[in-house]
């Protein structure tokens, strides 16, 4: 009898659960099915199956984070896995089982939940031992701490590690500094994963992602229409996962899915069809989307006719990467990974970048208020509220600042949060839909 590979039990559990969810969705009548949601679940399952196959076949498999330029590893045929993306996705359908286990971890509960879950995943061997891992040195010092622990405990202990060292500048010199490290990263992959790098393969991947990021930008432009043709959070949640976590970069299925969403958004905008009936409030959310966003989106729509028209998850400052040469391609990827990916973009720069993004997006998306979730454990979030107030005052839009945990809905009582939002809306002259009937 073949021995079980340590760390595969949890991922097999994910695959089984996802298969049940997919089967349920496909069993619905055709008019009730959501093709994008089905594709996202299938992508989650496919990624998990790739990890299981790599572990069973002894093929290279790495652990990495969003923003660590998966275009490179994917072009080399290396399976990569984000240690927390599955945990986050499955929290809602397991009654937060892992969150309650996380509470037992001997670790300061005030540290960002993303960091704590990363340590939890490794310590409890929720994945097979990776061939190597790529560390993230941005945007917070907690990332440095997490990788030090990974080198010593749990599933990744003893695995080779490469850490990209970003700069805080945005000049070509800064990008060249990071691009030089990407060349080192390629050599690291070749050495430890036993694969060969091909610029032609990388070029093909980046060419396709250029198209995908441009499609995403066009979808976001549709969100400026009144009423907004897109629902709160959902589209950008799906696009973000597909571009950075699941399907190998450059997969044309993602391009097709994005084109379908763009066609739908354009059609709805042209016909003045809003995703939220009786739209009256357009919210901008200057942070990553929360894991509990669908519950909030449903409440906002039903109670207030409110829609979240944009967030930093959906921000698309991505510039077209010139793939005419290896040098220009790596320079473009260096820029993408350090100044375009959300949260990294805002966390490693100055506060001016944060407020400039907020100002531009509020204006472009015709938002009429801002809700700042204030993620716990982020020192930059704690210190930025004053600057946001000034920016919103200049825009003449009201601002609500909160303190929430974007990754654990238990941090903030949902009823209290919605009560605070209701008071905020009421204080600025909006009325609940039930009072308008």
Residue 237, in any domain of the structure: yes
319's tokens? 């510039």
Worst-scoring range by mean pLDDT, 98-102, 379-383, 389-393?
379-383
Is pLDDT at 112 greater than 90 in this prediction? no
Worst-scoring range by mean pLDDT, 1-5, 29-33, 111-115, 224-228?
1-5
- For residue 232, the number of C-alpha atoms closer than 13 Å in the C-beta half-sphere is 29
pTM of structure: 0.94
Residues 19 and 149 in one domain: yes
Average pLDDT over residues 141-147: 80
Residue 3, in any domain of the structure: no
Angle subtended at Cα 61 by Cα 57 and Cα 64, rounded to the nearest 5 degrees: 165
Residues 181 and 222 in one domain: no
Please give the pLDDT value at position 5: 85
Residue 218, in any domain of the structure: yes
Is pLDDT at 430 greater than 50 in this prediction? yes
Please give the pLDDT value at position 168: 83
- Collapsing DSSP states into helix, strand and coil, what is residue 407? coil
**Under 8 Å CB-to-CB from 164, ≥6 apart: which residues?**
68, 134, 135, 136, 137, 178, 181, 182, 185, 337
- Gyration radius of the chain's alpha carbons: 21
222's tokens? 């549709």
CA distance 209 to 215: 10
Is pLDDT at 228 greater than 80 in this prediction? yes
Tokens 């006719």 belong to residue: 305
Residues 184 and 275 in one domain: no
Residue 129, in any domain of the structure: yes
Tokens 């009937």 belong to residue: 437
Question: How would residue 74 be classed by pLDDT, with cut points 50, 70 and 90?
Answer: very high
Calculate what percentage of the chain has a pLDDT beyond 90: 73
Residue 1, in any domain of the structure: no
From 167, 191, 215, give the residue that closes a domain. 191
CA distance 119 to 84: 9
- Collapsing DSSP states into helix, strand and coil, what is residue 81? strand
Residues 81 and 24 in one domain: yes
Residues 43 and 132 in one domain: yes
Q: What CATH number should be reported for the domain holding residue 178?
A: 3.40.50.11890
- Collapsing DSSP states into helix, strand and coil, what is residue 435? helix
CA distance 190 to 205: 18
Residues 133 and 38 in one domain: yes
Given the DSSP bridges, would you call strands 61-63 and 132-136 parallel, antiparallel or unpaired? parallel
Q: What CATH number should be reported for the domain holding residue 354?
A: 3.40.50.11900
Residues 183 and 206 in one domain: no
pLDDT digits (tens, 9 = 90+) for 93-104: 999 999 999 999
By CB neighbour count within 10 A (0-12 exposed, 13-18 middle, 19+ buried), where does 399 fall? buried
Residue 411, in any domain of the structure: yes
Counting the structural domains of the chain, the total is: 2
Residues 268 and 155 in one domain: no
Average pLDDT over residues 385-399: 94
Calculate what percentage of the chain has a pLDDT beyond 70: 98
Residues 32 and 156 in one domain: yes
Is pLDDT at 2 greater than 70 in this prediction? no
Average pLDDT over residues 399-421: 90
- Collapsing DSSP states into helix, strand and coil, what is residue 245? coil
Residue 2, in any domain of the structure: no
Residue 217, in any domain of the structure: yes
From 159, 191, 223, give the residue that closes a domain. 191
Residues 170 and 286 in one domain: no
Residues 183 and 207 in one domain: no
Please give the pLDDT value at position 1: 42
From 151, 171, 191, give the residue that closes a domain. 191
Residues 172 and 220 in one domain: no
By CB neighbour count within 10 A (0-12 exposed, 13-18 middle, 19+ buried), where does 200 fall? exposed
Please give the pLDDT value at position 144: 79
What's the domain range around 138? 8-191
């Amino acid at each position: 009898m073949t021995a079980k590979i340590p760390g595969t039990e949890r991922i097999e559990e994910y695959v089984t659960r996802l298969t049940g969810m997919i089967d349920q969705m496909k069993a619905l009548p055709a008019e009730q099915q959501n093709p994008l949601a089905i594709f996202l679940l299938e992508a989650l399952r496919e990624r998990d199956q790739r990890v299981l196959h790599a572990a069973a076949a002894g093929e290279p498999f790495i652990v990495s984070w969003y923003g660590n330029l998966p275009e490179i590893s994917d072009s080399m045929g290396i399976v990569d896995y984000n240690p927390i993306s599955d945990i986050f996705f499955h929290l809602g359908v397991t009654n937060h089982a892992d969150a309650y286990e996380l509470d037992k971890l001997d670790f300061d509960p005030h540290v960002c939940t993303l960091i704590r879950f990363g340590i939890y995943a490794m310590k409890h061997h929720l994945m097979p031992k990776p061939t190597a891992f790529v560390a993230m040195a941005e945007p917070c010092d907690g990332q440095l701490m997490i990788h030090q622990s990974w080198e010593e405990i749990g599933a990744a202990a003893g695995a080779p590690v490469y850490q990209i060292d970003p700069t805080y500048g945005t000049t070509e010199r800064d990008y060249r500094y990071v691009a030089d490290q990407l060349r080192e990263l390629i050599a690291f992959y070749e050495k430890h994963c036993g694969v060969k790098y091909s610029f032609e393969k990388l070029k093909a991947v980046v060419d396709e992602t250029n198209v995908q990021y441009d499609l995403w930008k066009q979808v976001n432009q549709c969100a400026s229409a009144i009423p907004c043709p897109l629902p709160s959070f959902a589209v950008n949640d799906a696009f973000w996962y597909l571009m950075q976590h699941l399907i190998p970069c450059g997969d044309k299925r993602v391009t097709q899915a994005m084109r379908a969403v763009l066609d739908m958004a354009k059609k709805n905008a042209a016909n003045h069809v809003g995703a939220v009936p009786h739209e009256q409030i357009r919210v901008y959310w200057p942070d990553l989307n929360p894991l509990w966003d669908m519950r909030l989106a449903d409440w906002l729509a039903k109670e207030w006719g409110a829609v979240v028209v944009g967030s930093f998850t959906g921000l698309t400052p991505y510039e077209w990467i010139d793939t005419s040469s290896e040098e220009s391609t790596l320079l473009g990827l260096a820029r993408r990974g350090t100044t375009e990916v959300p949260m990294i973009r805002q966390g490693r720069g100055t506060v001016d970048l944060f407020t400039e993004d907020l100002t531009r997006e509020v204006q472009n998306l015709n938002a009429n208020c801002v809700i700042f979730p204030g993620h716990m454990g982020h020192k930059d979030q704690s210190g930025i509220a004053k600057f946001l107030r000034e920016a919103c005052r200049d825009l003449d839009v009201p601002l609500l600042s909160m303190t929430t945990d974007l990754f654990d809905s238990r941090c903030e009582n949902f009823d209290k949060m919605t009560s605070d939002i209701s008071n905020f809306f009421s204080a600025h002259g909006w009325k609940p839909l039930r009072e308008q009937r």
